Amino acid sequence: MMYTILTCTIMGLWVLIGLYFGYMTIRDDIRNEIERKAKQNKEKLSQTPLSRKNK
Quote the pLDDT of residue 49: 64
Q: Identify whether 40 is part of a domain.
A: no
Q: Identify whether 39 is part of a domain.
A: no
What are the phi and psi torsion angles at 39 (to 5°)?
Answer: -65, -40
DSSP for 15-42, written as a single string? HHHHHHHHHHHHHHHHHHHHHHHHHHHH
Q: The domain containing residue 24 runs over which residues? A: 1-32
Quote the pLDDT of residue 53: 59
One digit per residue, the tens of pLDDT, for the chain of length 55 reads 999 999 999 999 999 999 999 999 999 999 999 999 999 888 877 776 665 555 5
Q: CA 26, 41, 25: angle at the middle one, nearest 5?
A: 10
What is the model's pTM? 0.59
Quote the pLDDT of residue 46: 76
| CA 12/CA 19 separation, integer angstroms | 11
Give every CB contact of residue 52 below 8 A, 6+ residues apart in sequence. Answer: 44
Q: How many domains is the chain built from?
A: 1
- How many residues would you count in the chain? 55
